[in-house]
Amino acid sequence: MRIRVLMIVLICLIAIEFSCKKPYNPTIVSSNQSYLVVDGVINSGSDSTIIYLSRTVKLNSKSFRNPVQGASLKVESDKNDVYILQEVIPGKYVATNLNLPIDRNYRMHIFTSDNKEYVSDFVENKITPPIDSVYATPLTTGVQFSVSTHDNTNKTRYYRWDYTESWSYEIGEQASRLIYKNGQITSRSPDSLVNLCYKYPEHNSSIFLANSEKLTQDVISKSPLGYVDGSTGKITNVYEFLLSQYALTSEAYKYWTLLKTNNEGLGTITDPQPSQSITNIHCVTNPAEPVIGYVSVSTISLKRVFLAGRDLPFAVNELAKDSVSCGGGIIWMQPQNTFLSRLQAVMASGDTLLVRFETGGNGKTGYSYETAICADCRLRGGTTTKPAYWPSGL
């Protein structure tokens, strides 16, 4: 999960305005320095380990992203194994297929380009049990997701989840079926149709936690996850939900609980006082320098589910909000001597697409047109490229 440091800091500043609570001034707020943020999990299984490095920014900054580039990152074991991460885009560091031995503890070692050294504590390699079930429960106007899981060995106890979501959406009768280019009108080929698009993937930044520490058996039953409202348009056609499950140590669970409280549980006079997040990452160069984040080591369990809007017990098409304003028309071919000039005039703006061939009364024929954003699904933020994981027929 991308750590929303700015949101936490802003909430902390707002909280001190309540006079009946003691003002809290965390170091991150009161200092003019920029602190390292380490975001990610060491994936000890076969999937990729992805670590994001960034630095905090001031509340009045115009930029919300401050990636740390050119750093050197490596995973180290307590038996002197070393695994190198590579920077793939600014601030994003990746290692694939680590498959770490389970009989060792691991830590993250970081060297930044400004000659600072950071290291996390050695932590246990947790083996995450499989996800039993992901439930999609229709409510009045949306869908509530929840998860069940268990560990027969009773060794996990502490769980965290996050998820990404993708969805498809369609443009109906307004979608362009024709192409106008160099004065010629041709039909779109199957691979150039723009009526069906996909948005993917979008990461949900909420924190979902559960534990079974007070239960005899290590069982989590239908723990609530995200809610998708029908008005968002995400579940109008086909919606994909990819859940990631992480086993945590008790210390990591405390960290995520505190972060969740700071991120989501503040805002009223009765809410808990904001607090500065615990961390297991330290600056070797300057031990007094705060570092934000917590490095865990675990395998990750995944489960993907698909949801079709047509199967829901409410009309998602009526709930979806579409702020796009459309206003096309028809260019009749009669009289023929002015048809081309009228066609060129309509298409001259470059923001208009032909939709289809039309026939009218008294043998009239012509071409309907629409503003591009109404006729081309790609202009609403999606792509016509179907994700590789998308089922055929959906």
- Give the β-pairing of 36-43 and 292-293: parallel
Residues 294, 328, single domain; the answer is no
For the stretch 195-241, pLDDT in tens is 999 999 889 989 999 999 999 999 999 999 999 999 999 999 999 99
Closest listed residue to residue 221, CA positions, set 302, 135, 294, 152: 135
State whether 121 and 256 are in the same domain: yes
Looking at the structure, do residues 154 and 51 belong to the same domain, yes or no? yes
pTM of this prediction?
0.85
Indicate whether 185 belongs to any domain: no
Q: What CA–CA distances, in Å, run from 383 to 195, 307, 354? A: 10, 19, 20
Considering the domain boundaries, does residue 253 fall inside one? yes
Which of 287, 311, 335 lies at the terminal end of a domain, its last residue?
Answer: 311
Whether residues 161 and 262 fall in one domain: yes
CA–CA separation, 202 vs 44, rounded Å? 24
Q: With cut-offs at 50, 70 and 90, classify the pLDDT of residue 192.
A: very high
- The number of folded domains in the chain is 2
Q: 368 pLDDT exceeds 90?
A: yes
- Residue 307's SS3 state is strand
* Boundary residue ending a domain (284, 311, 338): 311
Closest CA to 58 of 26, 33, 38: 33
Amino acid 277: pLDDT: 63
φ/ψ of 58, rounded to 5, equals -70, 155
Q: Are 258 and 248 in contact (CB under 8 A)?
A: no
Are both 43 and 134 inside the same structural domain?
yes
Do 91 and 158 lie in one domain? The reply is yes
Claim to verify: residue 23 and residue 132 sit in the same structural domain: yes
Res. 5: pLDDT tops 50: no
| 64-85 average pLDDT score | 95
Instruction: For 136-149, write each residue's pLDDT tens digit.
Output: 999 999 999 999 99
Q: In terms of domains, do 57 and 140 share one?
A: yes
Residue-range definition of the domain harbouring residue 370:
323-380
